[in-house]
Amino acid sequence: MNLSFKLNSGHSIPLIGFGTYQIRGNHLIYETLDYALKAGYRHIDTAVVYRNEEHIGNALKTLLPKHNLKREDIFITSKLISQRDKGEQFVEELVQKSLANLQTEYIDLYLIHWPGVSGLQVSHPENVQYRKNAWNVLCKLHREGKCRSIGVSNYMVKHIRELLADCNGVRPAVNQVEWHPHFFQPELLELCRSEGIFLQAYSSLGTSISTDLRDDPVVAEVATRLNRSPAQILLRWAIQRNVGILPKARSQAHIDENIALDFEIPPQDMELIDDLRNTSGAKYSWDPDTVV
């Protein structure tokens, strides 16, 4: 399987990325990115709210030459959340700050992190206008080459359709959502694929405070049969559905494990894992479906 996907912007995004949520501090970021680059990761996923963009920028300044890499050899994603009573200028300032913190002239992919607005009720109709304002700014920065691709995160079917109806001439390249065998939305995947939007998963392994997904008996059974870890089965399941993944890890052993996905899950086992959605339906992260 090709381990990259050609975005509608013409750029390629690796199917396997390195998530940095809850990983911050110059020393820890340096250590984990050192492991990740050595293991072969070339996509780094961050966000303004992760509060680690500056640490990533500092680390890459040293790590890229250490691993004989150039800026163009890696793919960086960041994201922003709109704030109440903050207009388009504020959104542009956030992106410019991301560029400065990451010490780069461009960001490969910039996403609207959440369809709602920080400080605004999910049912408030102004969410629609804030989404539009943020997208307009990202379109401008995309045309200037500062954001090579732009997209969204946590957008449900209704949000995607709204954006496509008025996207200022730039269609979203990516939609990053919670996606794993316990919770996935076939209708959302079908819409994204029909519109040329790459679906990217977060929470592929559940969360750090819940092992329910990794401990699922069906996942464990398939893992034993294929002599792989449950984490590898969960990640490979997404890859075989051509969904991007962003596993995060801090130890070198887990970082190495999460990228060692050069095996195939047989079709009958893929179907068993697919069926977990019908028996579990467990969601481990925030619910954007309630956002107007």
Identified catalytic residue from 21, 30, 35, 50: 50
Q: Are 183 and 283 in contact (CB under 8 A)?
A: yes
Residue 75's identity, in one-letter code, is F
50 catalytic per annotation: yes
Who's near 43: CB < 8 A, 6+ residues apart?
A: 13, 14, 16, 17, 18, 74, 75, 76, 77, 246
- Are 101 and 68 contacting, i.e. CB atoms less than 8 angstroms apart? no
Within a 13 Å sphere around the CA of 210, how many CA atoms are in the beta-carbon half?
13
Angle made by CA atoms 259, 114, 251, in degrees to the nearest 5: 25
- Judge contact between 227 and 271, C-beta under 8 A: no
Amino acid of residue 31: E
Helix axes 26-39, 53-66, angle to 10 degrees: 40
Q: Which residues contact 1 (CB under 8 A, 6 or more apart)?
A: 239, 240, 242
Q: Is 282 left (phi over 0), alpha (psi -120 to 50) or beta?
A: beta
User: How many angstroms separate the CA atoms of 20 and 28, rounded?
Assistant: 10
Query: 72: Cβ–Cβ under 8 A, 6 or more apart, which residues?
Result: none
Residues marked as catalytic: 50
